[in-house]
Structures are given as C-alpha cells and as structure tokens.
Chain A
Amino acid sequence: MNLALTIFFDGITYASWLFIVALGLTLVFGVLKILNIAHGSFYAVGAYAGASLVAWLVSMKVAPALSVVALVLAAAGVAALLAPLTERGLLRMFYARDEVLLVLVTYALFLILEDVTKLLWGVHPYYAADTYQAFGNVTLGPLTYVGYDLMLVFVAVACGALSWWVLNRTRHGKIVSAVIHNAEVAGSMGVNVSRVYTWAFVAGVFLAALGGALTAPMISVQPGLSVGVIVVSFAVVIIGGLGSIEGAALGALVVGLARAASVHLFPAAELFSIYVVMAIILVFRPEGVFQRVQARKI
C-alpha cells in the first residue's frame, strides 16, 4: 500500500472519531447558538460510563463484541441523565443573556464536571480493551488495521447520514430548521421551541458521550480526557462553519487528513499542521467553508 493510501486510511479513521464528537458540538451550536465548552466533559463522562459498563459485562462473561451495544447504551444513559438536567436546569436561565455569558457558563460546567468525574471514578484508569480487540484485524497491504477502528468509520457515516436525514427529510427536522432560522417566528407559529432546544441538546450530548464511549476501548480512561478533544473539535467546526453538518464532516476530514499527512511526512509539525490548515481556510472563508446564510432582521 503506497503512502497516499496509508495517509488516506489513517486520516479517515481519525476523522471518523472526530466527526462523531464535532457533530454534537455543531448541532448544539446550530440550534441553541451555544458554544458548548462542556461538550468535552460529556465526552469524558461517556468514556467513563462506557468503560465501567464494559468492565462489568466482561466480569459477567458477556462476549466482548456485544459490549459495543453497551457502549451505545452508556452514551444514551449519559445523555438521558445529563442533557435535560443541564439544559433545563442551567442553560435555560441564560438564553436571554449575552452569548458570551453562555460560553462562560458552559466553561464553569466543564470545570465542575471535571471534578465530578474525579469524585465518581477517581484517578485510576479504566480499561475496556477486550472490546477493542473483539473485531479482529483487517490487513490492507503491509498494514494491519484493527477492525474496531474501521467500524468507527461506519458509525460516523451512520451518525452523519441519520442527522442529515432527520434535519432535511422529516417533519421534525423542518421544525428544527424553523427554530434555527428564527426561533421567535417559529414560536409564534406554534412550535414548542423549548422542547426543540431540549431535544437538540440531548442529541448533542449523546453524540459527545458516544464519541467518548466508543473511544474508551482504545485508551485508558482517566482524568484529562476532556481538554484535548474539545480543542480539536472546535477546530473542526470552525473549519466547516459553525452549525453545519456538512461542515463538520468536511472539517473532520480536513483535520484527519492534515494530521495523517503531517505524521507521515513532517512528524515534528503534527499539531502545527492542523491549525495552519485552519488558518488558511479562514483567510478565504472567515466563517468556515459551509457558512450558513444569515437571515437579516429588519
């Protein structure tokens, strides 16, 4: 397998993980107009919940391959528990205030959740590595890829396609689009805007937690997970254009491929490469590649 193909496969596998997380971030921004820094914490909580559930299932002698279902359920559980609590109990109080204040509120929540995860799970690592190796390996030329990594590509495509279909081809999606376009008018037309906000936030938290839960088998889950992922997720959604699913997909691909190319060709410039690409794109498209048309209020 030549170098270009290797870079392509590495870029795609990295982008798929990143896309799942960034999709949630962009969805929340698109609907609620919140730059949610706590997204990284939901990712970390998802990783802890997934690793804990898998560890329990392994102790119950459940086949590791089945524990992927447990990872999805763990993410759903995190979303069902944390999302309504956060959106209804905290964020709703600040919708009428300045957007900058909401960023600070989510940052505060990020710090609180950091401590909460430490309180609940301690600082010792959690492993779910049995799941990572349960899908065997796939050989592509001289390289071996783990089946689990390739499965993530399909999960990412499924998440993206499902989100796009719901938003663009269903009645509920059209309601969400109406709220995105103008929440006040949508409300005056009888749309329950607050319910749309809640469900959009639930979906966003689910995607963050799913990204964390699906990453858990590949790593040791321990404090510090949330910071790195939120920084690179922001890079993705900024490249793609905040609030755009297509943009998140493109941003994840750009970051994944730029990183892969850098590691293979200029390893010392790995981190630098992502932000150089971002800077170049923003020079020509300051609001991201898929910038949304702004409705002008008269």
Chain B
Amino acid sequence: MRIPSSRSRRAWRGAVAAAGLALAALPALAQETFRLGIVSFLSGQAAESFGVPAVNGAKVVLDAFNNGKAPAPYNKVGFGGMKIEPVYLDENGGATKQVQELRNLYEREKVDAVVGYVGSGDCLAVAPVAEEMKKFLILYDCGTPRIFEDGKYNYVFRTASHAAMDNVALARYLKSRNVKVEKFNMIHQDYAWGQDSRKDFMLAMEHLYKGAKVDADLLPKFGAGQYGTEVSALLGKPADILHSSLWGGDLQAFVLQAGARGVFQKQTPVLSAADHVLPGLGEKFPNGAIIGARGAYGLMSPKSALNDWWWDIYSKAYNVYPVQAPYRMVQALLGLKLAAEKAMAANGGKKPTPEQLAAALKGSSWESPAGTIRMALGDGHQAIQDTAIGRTRWDPAKKMVAIEDIQRFPAECVNPPANMKTEDWLKAGMPGAKC
C-alpha cells in the first residue's frame, strides 16, 4: 500500500472531513420541513360555510403534496422535497385575537409561512402585523379590496380576486342577459365585506344600468339570524332584483325566511357568494337565482385535468363536491408551492427566506383548478382570475341544485387595472375592461 505524501494526506483528511460533514448534514436536510400555518374558521358562524371546507381542502392537497401525488408541475414531494408540516389555527374570536395568534404562529410555532383568513376585518388587521414582523403571509379568501389599495406590503399577498370582481361580474351578467332592472333592492351585512360589496355593485350598476334606482338598502348586523323585518321591508318595496352578499348561516336563514314569504317570486335574487349553501339548502334554495361563487368554482369551474384531479380527491375524501372556500385554499397552496420551489432553486436548494418567497410569488402566475391565477394588482401582490355567474335550478333527478346558463368572464373584464383603485375604476365606468 502506498503511503500518501503529506500534501495528499491533507487532501485526504479534508475529503474525509467534508464527507463526514455532508453525512452529518444529510439527516438534517432529510428532516427539514416547511412549517405552514393555516388559519381559518374552525368554530363559529363561518366554520361550516368556509373554514372547515377550506381546511379540509388544505388537508387533502397537502397530503397529496407530501406524497408527491399531485399532477405536474406540482408533483415534487412537499415543497421542493421538504415535507410540509401544517399548523392549523381557528380564526374565530375577532381581529384583536387574530393579531396575537399570528404573532404566536411566527414566534412560538416557528412557521415559515401563513396561509389564512376569511374575514375581511381579520385580513385588514393581520396584514400590517406580518409586514412589521417581516414574515410571509398569504391571504387566501377575504374580499375587501382595501388591503392592497390602501396599503403597500412586501411580505403579504392575496392569491384570489377581491370582491369587486364578484359584483362587477353580476352586473355584467344581468346586462348581457337583458335582465330588466329599473329598481333594485339590497341587503348586506354591516361590516367591511358587506359594505364593500354593496358599494361595488351600486357603482357597477350606475355604469351599466343608467337610471336604475336603489330602493331598499338594508344593512343587518353580522349573524342577525332573524330577518322578518328586513323581509317586510323588501316586500314593501317591489323591485326587479335583490342583490346580496350575505353568506353562510346568515344567507341560509335569510333564504329560508324570505323564501317562505314569497320574496324571491317578486324579485330575482342576485347573490355574489352563494354557491357554498347549495348543497345544504337543496330544494329550499330558490330556482332562477343568479349567483356567483367568488370565482369559477364548484359547479361553475372550468373543465381541466387539474380541476378533475382536485374535484376527485376532495369529493372522495369528504363525500361532497368542493365549493368556493376549498377552491380558494387550493389555489393559494398551489401558488405557494411553485413560489417556494422557485425560491429554493434560486437559493441552492435550501429553504427560502420570507424575502425570497415574496420575490418568487410577486407578479407570478400559475394554473389552478379554477383557471389561471395572476398576481397582477397591488404591485404584484393581489391576484386576479376569471370568474363565472349562472342561474340555479333544482334538479329533482339528481336531487341537487344545478347551475345553468353559466357565463364566464375573463379576469381583465371584471377586475380593475393595475394602475387604478377599484372605486375610481368603477366611478370612471370601468375603462380598459377587456370583455
């Protein structure tokens, strides 16, 4: 055996040491996980409609990611080989509590990113906190346009369109179907989401239906439950349509109470976010209602291999088809996965920092079951997407509510351009809309 020289001996020792270090580092790499905070309503009024279906969606999708069973380009295990370790948190309890819980997620739970929040008030409260802490946050559902129109963020994103799209699409649908609207009634919850929806629809109608008048303009409190007086007010003011952004238990209670008193026979309901109550209410839901799903979701989703995969895994896991909340969750997670893997590639395969994640997601686009998501507004932090509106009909053969006469709207037709705030765009008559 040849005895190595001192120089080659040093090289040999160096190689052995490097190999040893690499071997020591291997288990650490193999065990490295991406801790992901997921916040949604697990209790309270929004749990049944939004929180639990969304979290259920997250569970099946993260499971598919971790097993490398999602379709390409989402087929790498976890995020770029890192297993995803979800930390689920209840959004119930109000904005003050959520601010504290978000801090806990980042500081105590040591999550690498958070995807969450249904409530517009919660989103408005937590976004500045994540920004102040320089932590990565994706708002996956809330609707108020104000987040990126009144604020500027580096670490905060929203991977779904805001509520302006829902109401502009409804107004355009009415116009394209020549629905007569001389007078219209409105009922919205008295908080950020309801008030923004009300304003957006009114402004869109001012442009598309010049001269149409608002008659009843009702703002019951969130979670009112009893709508007898509101129903009387609506019955006392005959109108062509009744616009509402009610959702969840409030929408269900309103539909039951207003339906029993014949409101929907006298004014066509035009509902911006109603698809999620269809499976529960079934034949109690009015026929001929014009509804949106806050995107091309559920029964109005486009045909694609990705959508088939998603529909299949969700339906098999929970014995019900996915509606808007799980769709919004999955599109957030798909966008985050691609951003994380892009950031890792630029970072030598290592877990990305919040800054690297933000740089990767900013201005990006990706395919989701509901179509292409583009981070086109809010300096690349706010998504736009295509949407769809349709009419409901109870299908006695299938024993479910079907949605017919569906019209799809391209994202640029129903979302403001990057250089304008929603309100200014609507007041100006939606210039630059590509329909």
Asked whether, in the complex, the Cβ of B225 is within 8 Å of the Cβ of A146, the reply is: no
**By the criterion of a CB under 8 Å from any partner CB, how many residues of chain A are at the interface?**
44
Stretch at the interface among B64-72, B253-261, B385-393: B253-261
Whether the pair B232, A6 counts as a contact (CB closer than 8 A) is yes
Q: Which one of B225, B235, B261 lies within 8 Å of A228 (CB-CB)?
A: B225
B217 near A118: Cβ-Cβ < 8 Å: no
Asked if A225 is at the interface of the complex by the 8 Å CB criterion, the answer is yes
Q: Which of A39-96 contact B (CB under 8 A)?
A: none
A-contacting residues, B76-97, CB 8 Å: none
B63 interface hit (Cβ, 8 Å): no
User: Which A residues from 201 to 259 make CB contacts under 8 A with B?
Assistant: 215, 218-220, 222-225, 227-229, 259
Report the separation of the CA atoms of residues A145 and B42 in the bound assembly, to the nearest whole angstrom.
Answer: 36
Per-residue CB contact flags for chain B residues 38-63 toward chain A (1 = under 8 Å, else 0) read 00001111111001100000000000
What chain B residues lie within 8 Å of A267 (beta carbons)?
216-219, 233
Q: Is the CB of A219 within 8 A of B228?
A: no
Q: Does A133 contact B (CB under 8 A)?
A: yes
A residues in contact with B253, CB < 8 Å:
218-220
> Are the C-beta atoms of A137 and B47 separated by less than 8 Å?
no
Query: Chain B residues with Cβ under 8 A from A222's Cβ?
Result: 45, 47-48, 249
In the complex, residue of chain A having the shortest beta-carbon distance to the beta carbon of B254: A219
Given A218-B226, A220-B249, A220-B280, also A264-B233 (CB < 8 A): yes
B179 in contact (CB, < 8 A):
no
Q: In the assembled complex, which residues on chain A have CB atoms less than 8 Å from the CB atom of B226? A: 14, 17, 215, 218
Instruction: Determine how close the nearest CB of chain A comes to the CB of B262; give it in whole angstroms.
Output: 5
Q: Given A143-B232, A227-B223, decide whether A219 and B252 contact each other with a Cβ distance below 8 A.
A: yes
The answer to whether A137 and B261 have CB atoms under 8 Å apart is: yes
What's the Cα separation between A127 and B255 when bound, in Å?
12
Point out the residues of chain A lying under 8 angstroms from B262, CB to CB.
137, 144
Partner of B236, one of A6, A149, A225: A6
Determine if B256 and A129 form an interchain contact, defined as CB atoms under 8 angstroms apart: yes
Q: Contact: B43 with A270, CB < 8 Å?
A: no
Residue of A115, A142, A146, A267 most packed against chain B (CB within 10 A): A267
Do the beta carbons of A125 and B52 come within 8 Å of each other?
no
Residues of A within 8 A of B235 (CB): 142-144
Q: A17 — which chain B residues lie within 8 A by C-beta?
A: 226
Given contacts A14-B229, A123-B52, contact A223 B261 (CB under 8 A): no
B134 to chain A: which residues have CB within 8 Å?
A: none
A32 at the binding interface (Cβ < 8 Å): no
Tell yes or no: B190 within 8 A of A by CB: yes
For B260, the chain A residues whose CB sits under 8 A away are 132-133, 137, 146
CA distance A13 to B232 in the complex (A): 12
A164 within 8 A of B: no
A145 cross-chain contacts in B, Cβ below 8 A: 261
| Chief secondary structure at chain A's binding surface | helix
Q: Within the assembled complex, what's the spacing in Å between the Cα atoms of A283 and B296? A: 54
**In the complex, which residues of chain A have a beta carbon less than 8 angstroms from the beta carbon of B280?**
124-125, 127, 220
Find out whether the CB atom of A10 lies under 8 angstroms from the CB atom of B236: no
CB distance from A44 to the nearest CB of B (A): 11
Residues of chain A contacted by B261 (CB below 8 angstroms): 137, 143-146
Say whether B230 faces chain A, with CB atoms less than 8 Å apart.
yes
The verdict on A175 contacting chain B, using a C-beta distance below 8 Å, is no
CA distance A268 to B235 in the complex (A): 18
In the complex, whether A199 has a CB less than 8 A from a CB of chain B is no
**Which residues on A sit within 8 Å (CB–CB) of B217?**
267
Question: A122-155, CB under 8 A of B: which get 1 and which 0?
Answer: 0111010100110001000011111001000000
Judging by beta carbons under 8 Å apart, are A220 and B256 in contact?
yes
B46 → A minimal CB distance (Å)? 8
Determine whether the beta carbon of B225 is less than 8 Å from that of A219.
yes
Q: Which residue of B lies closest to A217 (CB)?
A: B256
Chain A residues, CB < 8 A from B42: 123
Mask for A24-47, Cβ within 8 A of B = 1, else 0?
000000000000000000000000
Residues on A with beta carbons closer than 8 Å to the beta carbon of B46: 224
Q: Check A264/B47 contact, CB under 8 A, given A123-B52, A133-B260.
A: no
Interface status of A105 (Cβ within 8 A of chain B)? no
> Which residue among B44, B256, B260 has the maximum number of chain A CB atoms within 10 Å of its CB?
B260
Q: In the complex, what's the smallest C-beta–C-beta distance from B114 to chain A, in angstroms?
A: 22
Contact B256 A219 (CB under 8 A): yes
Partner of A218, one of B45, B190, B223, B257: B257
A193 at the interface (CB under 8 A from B): no
Q: Which one of B216, B223, B233 has the greatest number of beta carbons of chain A within 10 Å? A: B233
Q: Which residue of A lies closest to B221 (CB)?
A: A271
Q: Chain B, 186-223, contact with A by CB distance < 8 Å: what is the 0/1 string?
A: 00001000000000000000000000000011111101
Q: Quick one: which of B251-295 are within 8 Å of A by CB? A: 252-253, 256-257, 260-262, 280-281, 284
A143 to B252 alpha-carbon distance, docked (Å):
22
User: Are A270 and B219 neighbours in the complex by a CB distance under 8 Å?
Assistant: yes
Who on chain B is nearest to A3 by CB? B236
Residue of A nearest to B265 (CB): A144
List residues of A whose CB falls within 8 A of some B CB. 3, 6, 9-11, 13-14, 17, 114-115, 118, 123-125, 127, 129, 132-133, 137, 142-146, 149, 215, 218-220, 222-225, 227-229, 259-260, 263-264, 267-268, 270-271
Further pairs besides A6-B236, A144-B261, A267-B216: 4, Cβ < 8 Å: A220-B280, A224-B44, A263-B218, A270-B220
Of the A-B pairs whose beta carbons lie under 8 Å apart in the complex, a sample of 16, sorted by A's number, is A6-B232, A14-B226, A123-B43, A132-B257, A133-B260, A137-B260, A144-B262, A219-B257, A220-B249, A228-B221, A228-B225, A260-B232, A263-B230, A264-B236, A268-B190, A271-B221
Nearest 9 Cβ contacts at the A-B interface: A224-B45, A220-B252, A10-B229, A219-B253, A123-B47, A263-B229, A224-B44, A123-B48, A267-B218
